Structure 1
Amino acid sequence: MSESSKGNWFTEIFGEEGTSFGLEITEKLHAEQTQYQYLEVYNTRTFGKLMVLDGCVMLTSRDNFLYHEMMTHPALFTHPNPKTVAIIGGGDCGTLREVLKHAGVEKCTQIDIDERVTWASQQWFPELCESNTDPRAELLFDDGIAWVKNCTPGSMDLIIIDSTDPVGPAEGLFAVDFYRDCLRALKPEGLLVQQSESPLLHSNSIIKKIHEDMAAAGFHQCHTLPFPQPVYPTGWWSCTMASPQGSVTQFREQDAADKPFATQYYNLGIHKGALALPEFMKRDLGK
């Protein structure tokens, strides 16, 4: 549950948790009802530009690198040699940009149902769209669930589910049947990454169910990596990585240390640290 406040602040209210998050805004840049959701873009005083979907903060210029880097680089350095990548969702294109920093990736297909999100990102977050014209990038505006179901079996090295919260159109992206379709689309050494909400709020609910559903779908191992995300509920977020066969906690450490591209958050130490779960998460997830 969220809402915009009056005056010069945008406030997202998390009613069930009894908390809220606000940013001082200086200008409303855009607002429209797309075919799928209500899209807004603001200028803020301290966090740069802000994108909002259905009243929920999606990203800001200031801190989106935390999410985009952690949704991509841990998995790309865990896979032995990722070449084919699919992003389900990710319409702001920041995840696509991070994936294509890896020279070994030969093709990255992004499937987002709402073309207007990508249009808005191109207009107001052009830095996130730097790789949209990369010849390795393919942008599709379609149903990601259907795309995965129809994907050639055993064709993908990595599938990243860069979705909104598990309600409305995104609810089907948090389901056993969808994970089973992802498993079928992946190569044996492939990886699945799912954005998995707040560890503090959802460790014993959404995150636990993701682990259970991935196991039920046939994934051999899964692990949740927490990371900071100031503009999301509690300021603490996570992604969950799953593998059909191999380990998701062992990765190419030397390659991560020697990465030939710039990041703002991710590095070897961050990757190692993100694999360490707090005690309450270990208890909740049975680790």
Structure 2
Amino acid sequence: MTATPTGAAETWFSEQHARSGSSFGLRVNARLHAEQTPFQTIEIYDTTDWGKLMVIDGCTMVSTRDNFLYHEMMSHPALFTHARAKRVVIIGGGDCGTLREVLKHEEVEQAVQVEIDERVTRLAEQYFPELCASNHDPRAQLLFIDGIKYMAEQDPESIDLIIVDSTDPVGPAEGLFNAAFYASCFRALRPSGILVQQSESPLVHLDLIKAMRTSMRMAHFQAVRTLLFPQPLYPTGWWSCTMARKNADLSDFRERGAAQRQFDTRYYSVETHKAALALPPFMREALGE
């Protein structure tokens, strides 16, 4: 999980993923920054082909080249499923890419980003300024506090959409993947509210996805759907997010609004939204759908 010289002229960052028995690497020009925060180790690399790369605790988080895949799919499907999300809360998301996508929606009146480690955001502002383009939008509020505590303290039925844009379910993010946290989210969401959370690789973490969906239902969410999308720098290259809704289905979305959106996207579209909802047979069988 470190940059390793492989020849006189080349250095590669490599990440090994023991659970899937796989690894991948990116050729790098240099490591630009490294620090240990109170929560985690953050590194920034300059790669030869993928732009800047942020690594947290040895795991790739975001690159210049491919971040749009994740950020667009963590935000637009849920926002176009909700009739009109005025107040959005993002738990995690310190690189600010999801915040940027959320604030492309004119109906959003407030977007609160709750990130426990301020250094993630400050380094994103320095090395990924394009992701932080909306940080000073008057609708944006950046809080550097514990997201679990924040959600537990929210007024009932005060939020339209909660996006959990977290790291893997270890360390600071571990408490974001259980029924107690989902119960806090359920309480804070308005009747038509939606929760969406990154849910790892469908090839490797199917047991986690199943456990998340069970815990969401235990927290009384009526509908749960898992959406799939490519993510080349994450284990297996295939990723997911799971949506849960209080009192309505998740199969339909505002197709006309999505087709006529007044902003650009690089991956999200009506067609990719529909495709993301289509689970392959092995997942339907495992998840009981």
Shared fold (TM-score greater than 0.5)?
yes
Shift of 1:213: 0.4
**Runs ≥4 residues deviating over 3 A:** none
* Alignment-derived partner of residue 23 in structure 2: 20
* Alignment-derived partner of residue 262 in structure 1: 264
2:273 is aligned, of 271, 274, 277, to 271
On the 8 A contact 2:223/2:247 being kept in 1, the answer is yes
Paired amino acid for 1:96 = L
* Alignment-derived partner of residue 8 in structure 2: none
* Alignment-derived partner of residue 87 in structure 1: 90
* Alignment-derived partner of residue 34 in structure 1: 37
* Alignment-derived partner of residue 231 in structure 2: 229
* Alignment-derived partner of residue 243 in structure 2: 241
Paired amino acid for 2:232 = P
* SS class of match (2:204): helix
| RMSD across aligned positions (CA) | 0.6
Shift of 1:16: 2.3
On the 8 A contact 2:19/2:204 being kept in 1, the answer is no
* Alignment-derived partner of residue 77 in structure 2: 74
- Report % sequence identity: 59
Matches of 2:259 and 2:239, distance apart in 1 = 24
Shift of 1:27: 1.0
Shift of 1:5: 4.2
Matches of 1:29 and 1:202, distance apart in 2 = 32
**Bigger CA drift: 107-116 or 5-14?**
5-14
User: After superposition, what is the alpha-carbon deviation per residue over 1:68-122, rounded to whole angstroms, capped at 9, x for unaligned?
Assistant: 0000000000000110000000000000000000001000000000000000000
On the 8 A contact 2:220/2:246 being kept in 1, the answer is yes
Paired amino acid for 1:283 = E
* Alignment-derived partner of residue 60 in structure 2: 57
* SS class of match (1:71): helix
For residues 1-287 of structure 1, what are the structure 2 equivalents within 5 Å?
Answer: 3-7=1-5, 8-203=11-206, 205-287=207-289
Paired amino acid for 1:41 = I
* SS class of match (2:55): strand
Mark the runs of 5 or more structure 2 residues left unpaired by the alignment. Answer: 6-10
On the 8 A contact 2:100/2:133 being kept in 1, the answer is yes
- From the superposition, tell whether residues 29 and 5 of structure 1 become closer, same or farther in structure 2 (CA, over 3 Å): closer
Figure out how many residues of one structure are paired with residues of the other and give that number. Answer: 284
Shift of 1:183: 0.2
Paired amino acid for 2:131 = L
* SS class of match (1:105): coil
Mark the runs of 5 or more structure 1 residues left unpaired by the alignment. Answer: none
Alignment TM-score, normalising by the size of structure 1: 0.98
User: After superposition, what is the alpha-carbon deviation per residue over 1:189-208, rounded to whole angstroms, capped at 9, x for unaligned?
Assistant: 000001000011112x1000
* SS class of match (2:209): helix
Shift of 1:19: 0.3
User: After superposition, what is the alpha-carbon deviation per residue over 1:172-216, rounded to whole angstroms, capped at 9, x for unaligned?
Assistant: 00000000000000000000001000011112x100001100001
Matches of 2:18 and 2:75, distance apart in 1 = 31
Paired amino acid for 1:148 = M
Matches of 1:154 and 1:86, distance apart in 2 = 13
Matches of 2:164 and 2:250, distance apart in 1 = 16
On the 8 A contact 2:159/2:189 being kept in 1, the answer is yes
Matches of 2:156 and 2:38, distance apart in 1 = 31
Paired amino acid for 2:134 = S
Paired amino acid for 2:4 = K
Paired amino acid for 2:141 = E
Paired amino acid for 1:218 = H
Shift of 1:247: 1.0
